[in-house]
Amino acid sequence: MGKESKMKKMSGGTVVYLGYVLILLGFVSLGATVAALAFGSPSLALAAGIALIVALGAGVAVIRRGLRIKGGIWAKPEADDRVESYLATYRTTADAVGDEPADVVKVRRAA
């Protein structure tokens, strides 16, 4: 029948990182475009401009895809056993809510 693919799916974080690298490549292409225009090389400027558009467009598309996989920018990270164990051991419920103990005095100082 059909061959099974042995490639693993990339996680959302990996995809977002790839998009970040593509955006950085887009900025490098922007610098190359400006340098080519400064040197008066229209063919090199055209090639660098096309690379700029492709890199930035691909970077934005890949980041959007990665965030869709990940669940969005503000998605709550999935809690695992280590996090729950840490919270149970080192944090109280007051710490989790953000309340301060009654004996803490806030001092306001001038800037």
C-alpha distances (whole Å) from 105 to each of 55, 96, 111 are: 53, 20, 19
Mean pLDDT of 42-59: 96
Statement: residue 91 has pLDDT above 80: no
Question: What's the DSSP call for residue 11?
Answer: P
pTM score over 0.85: no
pLDDT of residue 66: 87
Span 62-87, average pLDDT: 78
**Higher-pLDDT residue of 75, 36:** 36
The per-residue b/e assignment along 75-103, b for 16 or more CB within 10 angstroms, e otherwise, is: eeeeeeeeeeeeeeeeeeeeeeeeeeeee
Average pLDDT over residues 62-80: 78
Q: What is the pLDDT of residue 77?
A: 66
Per-residue pLDDT band at 81 (split at 50, 70, 90): confident
* CA distances, 62 to each of 6, 10, 35, 40 (Å): 22, 12, 27, 33
Domain ranges of the chain: 12-110
